[in-house]
Chains A and B, each alone.
Chain A
Amino acid sequence: MIRPDPIISIHGLVTQFGDQVIHDNLDLDIFRGEIFGIVGGSGAGKSVLMGAILGLVPLKHGIIRVLGKQAGTLEKIMKQHLQAHWGVLFQGGALFSSLTVGENIQLPMKDMEDMPKDLAREMAFIKLKMVGLEEGDFFKYPSELSGGMVKRAALARALAVDPEILFLDEPTAGLDPISAAAFDDLILTLRDNLNLTVVMVTHDLDSIKRLCDRVAVLVDKHAVVGTLDFLLKNDHPWIHEYFHGIRGQAALAGLME
Chain B
Amino acid sequence: MPTHSPRIEKFSQKEMVIFKPQGLWVAKTAREADFVCANFLLKDFPNHLVFDLADLQTFDTTGIWLLHRTFQALKQKGHHIELQNENEAFLTLSSRLETYQPSPEKTYRQVSILEEKLVELGKASVSIALLTRDLIIFLGQVTVTLFFIFLHPKRFRFTSIVAHMERFGVNAVPIIIVMSIALGLVLAYQGEEQLRRFGAEIYTINLVSISVLREVGILITAILIAGRTGSSITAQLGIMKINQEIDALNTLGLSPMEVLIIPRVLALIFIMPLLAFVSDIAGLIGGGIMVIFSLDVSPQLYIHRVGEAVTMGSFWVGMLKAPFFGAIIGIVSCFEGMRVEGTAESVGIGTTRSVVEGIFFVTLADALLSIFFSKVGI
Q: What is the interface of chain A, defined by CB distance below 8 A to chain B?
A: 84, 96-98, 109, 113-116, 119, 121-123, 125-127, 129-130, 135, 141-144, 159-162, 189, 192-194
Residues of chain B lying within 8 A (CB to CB) of residue A192: 89, 92
Quick one: given A109-B27, A115-B62, A130-B100, are A141 and B342 in contact (CB under 8 Å)?
yes
In angstroms, Cα B343 to Cα A144, docked, is 10
Quick one: given A123-B62, A194-B60, are A113 and B27 in contact (CB under 8 Å)?
yes
Residues of chain A lying within 8 A (CB to CB) of residue B28: 84, 113, 161
B61 to chain A, nearest CB (A): 5
In angstroms, Cα B92 to Cα A129, docked, is 16
B375 within 8 A of A: no
The answer on a CB contact under 8 Å between A135 and B103 is: yes
CB < 8 Å: which of A125, A129, A144, A162 contacts B27? A162
B contacts with A, residue count (CB < 8 A): 28
A185 to chain B, nearest CB (A): 10
Residues of chain A lying within 8 A (CB to CB) of residue B60: 162, 194
In angstroms, Cα B103 to Cα A123, docked, is 12
A-contacting residues, B85-100, CB 8 Å? 88-89, 92-93, 96-97, 99-100
B205 to chain A, nearest CB (A): 53
In angstroms, Cα B269 to Cα A154, docked, is 45
Q: Interface of chain B, helix or strand or loop or mixed?
A: helix
The answer on a CB contact under 8 Å between A122 and B342 is: no
A-contacting residues, B20-51, CB 8 Å? 26-28, 30-31, 34
The answer on a CB contact under 8 Å between A97 and B61 is: no
The answer on a CB contact under 8 Å between B345 and A98 is: yes
Residues of chain B lying within 8 A (CB to CB) of residue A109: 27, 30
A132 to chain B, nearest CB (A): 10
Residues of chain A lying within 8 A (CB to CB) of residue B342: 97, 141-144
The answer on a CB contact under 8 Å between B65 and A126 is: yes
Residues of chain B lying within 8 A (CB to CB) of residue A189: 92-93, 96
CB-based nearest B residue for A159: B61
B299 to chain A, nearest CB (A): 54
Q: Given known contacts A113-B28, A143-B342, what 18 new A-B pairs fall within 8 Å (CB)?
A: A97-B344, A97-B345, A98-B344, A98-B345, A109-B27, A114-B31, A115-B27, A119-B34, A123-B65, A126-B65, A126-B101, A129-B102, A130-B100, A142-B342, A143-B343, A161-B27, A162-B27, A162-B62
In angstroms, Cα B34 to Cα A75, docked, is 32
The answer on a CB contact under 8 Å between A162 and B61 is: yes
The answer on a CB contact under 8 Å between B92 and A113 is: no
B53 to chain A, nearest CB (A): 14
In angstroms, Cα B31 to Cα A141, docked, is 28
In angstroms, Cα B369 to Cα A145, docked, is 47
The answer on a CB contact under 8 Å between B61 and A126 is: yes
The answer on a CB contact under 8 Å between A123 and B61 is: yes
B341 within 8 A of A: yes
B289 within 8 A of A: no
Can you list 24 A-B contacts with CB-CB less than 8 angstroms, sorted by A residue number? Answer: A84-B28, A97-B343, A97-B344, A97-B345, A113-B28, A115-B34, A119-B30, A119-B66, A121-B102, A122-B65, A122-B69, A123-B62, A126-B97, A126-B101, A126-B102, A129-B99, A130-B61, A130-B100, A144-B342, A189-B93, A193-B89, A193-B92, A194-B61, A194-B89
A116 to chain B, nearest CB (A): 5
The answer on a CB contact under 8 Å between A143 and B65 is: no
The answer on a CB contact under 8 Å between A116 and B30 is: yes
A198 to chain B, nearest CB (A): 15
Residues of chain A lying within 8 A (CB to CB) of residue B93: 189, 193-194
Residues of chain A lying within 8 A (CB to CB) of residue B27: 109, 113, 115, 123, 160-162
